Amino acid sequence: MEQRPSEPSSLDDLQSGPNLGETRGRILAADDDNVSLELLKELLSMSGYHVQCASDGLQAIDLFQQNRPDIVITDIRMPHKDGLEVLSRLRELDDTVPVILVTGYGDLDNALGALRRGAYDFLLKPIKPDRLINTVNKGIELSRLKRLERDYRKILERQVEERTRELASTNEFLSGILNSSRGVSIILTDFNGVIQFWNTGAENIYGYKADEIVGSNILKLSPDRKNGEQELQTAKRLIENEKTTIQQNIKRISKDGRELTVFSTMSPMLDSSGKMSGILSLGQDVTEQVRLHDDLRQSYDKIRRLQGAFIFALANLAESRDEETALHLKRIQAYCKLICERLRASGLYTEKLTDDFIENLMQGSILHDIGKVGLPDKILFTTDKFTDIEFEIMKQHTIKGGLALEQAAREAGEDKGYLTLGKEVAFYHHEHWDGTGYPFGLMGNVMPLYARIVALADVYDALTTERRYKEAFDHENARRTIVQGRGKQFDPTIVDAFLGVEQEFKQIRDDFMQSISENKDSLIRGRSDTVSLPSNMLNEDRS
């Protein structure tokens, strides 16, 4: 049977602390290498610690349950259950006990990952004695502090509960407290929803006097009885199963027919024996705050749409100087979104790939060639291969665009939005993974993630679009070119993400080509009023 250290029953017991005998602390060490295990035990025993040993992960978990140590040291590679599985199980059993992982250089990545999953620290083989003792000392101190905090909290909770029951026994005192809250409704119902108590705050919010509403069902306050019944049943299940407090905005209707939004906090009501006897609800009328928040949200969304339209118009103005404008900008947005979603679904860059990141990338990606507005027409419209000098001039569009957007972001006081993102896309979308790109020759992850995404999307679109100097590639040829550039021109993880959604890429490209063809046919037939594009494909590309 699992043995647990006895809990202190008072603050005096807590302050006296546990009796550890003559040892500095209890350590559980696990390793399937007997030589390493004996060496570890000898080093720790010489420093005054009591060490218990396990030769595999299952034995370590069993010993941990029998006699909780102050700290656990476990090798990563072990039979039956490895160190990471042991870590996971011990965290479930008692998260106050620090776990130190022992690893070789080959498992360093696993050790670093384990830190993010709750491991206290890791030690590299061969273990240095001074590093071992220092880490153990600090870990045991942390363990004792965590246990002290846990026990202290339990004692305080018991004292609070005892004091609360004493106060609750005085009905007159409790009623005075409840009715003094004139701006907060306090409503007590039984588990069938019948109102048992109704304070002055509830009268002020809903308009009913206590003698008008007590004995009625709480559903009388619901604008929609069916939805109200579902809300009540959900609240009952949560409170009965979790025995905890739940908070939510709920719709209510007042005596005079006004629809209200009430922020409600519902908790289980306990009798003197600790048995749940009903639901206690505290409510505050937040109707006006919700309305103002909705108005503010609508205004914000409208501003975002206007900003998006302005950015798109600005980008399209720059792109339209190039005669091959089709639907380049919208395609770039669609391709970038696909890659982001694929990366996130694959578990890559999840901390970066938030909804805001993707939204800003879709806005900023269309500004990648904004610097072309500063190029001479003879460079932009030439049908011949660039001379060395002309190519150097063409490459300047990255610098011109990046600097322009940098200034715009600075004047707008923005440091994380789409202008900042668009600046870096403009600067770096022609950089290559292997460092052979321009204008700065960045290599690998030094190139920002969003620029790496736009770089692939831009190349795919350029390959599959007809230009004045070439015909459009079909999807297979474009795919082959991108795969050949994996690890050279393109980030391998971005190429892999592209391959995971390549059929969606092809479908987007085909839809745009069909829209262009249909629009041309409509115009030829004199039916310009019937021209239509897919809802997410609105502008042309001239890059």
Q: For the domain that residue 78 is a member of, what is the CATH number?
A: 3.40.50.2300
- Regarding whether 151 and 62 lie in a shared domain, the answer is yes
CA-only gyration radius of the chain, Å: 34
Give residue 305's pLDDT.
56
259 and 122 fall within a common domain:
no
One domain for residues 345 and 239: no
Domain membership of residue 543 (yes or no) is no
The answer to whether residue 4 is domain-embedded is no
Please indicate, yes or no, whether residues 129 and 212 belong to a single structural domain of this protein. no
CATH of residue 272's domain is 3.30.450.20
Same domain, 107 and 251: no
Structural domains of the chain, count:
3
Residues 191 and 274 in one domain: yes
Are 254 and 206 in contact by the 8 Å Cβ rule? The answer is yes
List all residues 6 or more positions away from 68 whose beta carbon is below 8 Å from its beta carbon: 3, 4, 5, 94, 97
Same domain, 148 and 221: no
Residue 172 belongs to some domain of the structure? no
Question: Domain end: 237, 254, 285, which one?
Answer: 285
Look at residue 187 and tell me if it is in a domain.
yes
- For residue 510, count other CB atoms closer than 10 A to its CB: 12
Q: What's the CA gap between 411 and 398, in Å, rounded?
A: 20
Instruction: Give the pLDDT confidence score for residue 314 in this predicted structure.
Output: 53
Continuous segment of H or E residues that includes residue 100: strand 99-103
Asked if residue 414 and residue 352 are part of one domain, the reply reads yes
Q: Looking at 131, 165, 199, which one is the last position of a domain?
A: 165
Q: How many residues does the chain have?
A: 543
Q: Report the pLDDT value the prediction gives residue 1, as an integer from 0 to 100.
A: 43
CATH code, 431: 1.10.3210.10
What sign does the dihedral 424-427-430-431 (CA atoms) show? negative
One domain for residues 133 and 243? no
Establish if 542 belongs to a structural domain: no
* pLDDT cut 70: percent of the chain above it: 77
Cα of first residue to Cα of last residue in the chain, in angstroms, is 73
Beta-carbon count within 10 A of 75 CB: 26
539 lies in some domain: no
SS3 22: coil
Q: What is the pLDDT of residue 340?
A: 95
Residue span of the structural domain in which 276 resides: 182-285
Query: Both 314 and 454 in a single domain?
Result: yes
Judgement on whether residues 302 and 404 belong to the same structural domain of the protein: yes
Distance, CA of 82 to chain centre: 29
Q: Which of 252, 285, 318 is the last residue of a domain?
A: 285
Instruction: Note whether residue 96 is domain-resident.
Output: yes
- Mark whether 334 and 231 lie in a shared domain: no
Query: What pLDDT does residue 319 have?
Result: 54
Round to whole Å and give the CA distance between 369 and 426: 6
**Residue numbers in the chain where pLDDT is lower than 50:** 1-4, 11, 14-22, 173, 306, 310, 313, 321-326, 523-543
- Backbone φ/ψ region at 276: left (φ over 0), alpha (ψ -120 to 50), beta: beta
Domain assignment present for 290: no
Interior angle at CA 335, CA 333 and CA 340, nearest 5: 95
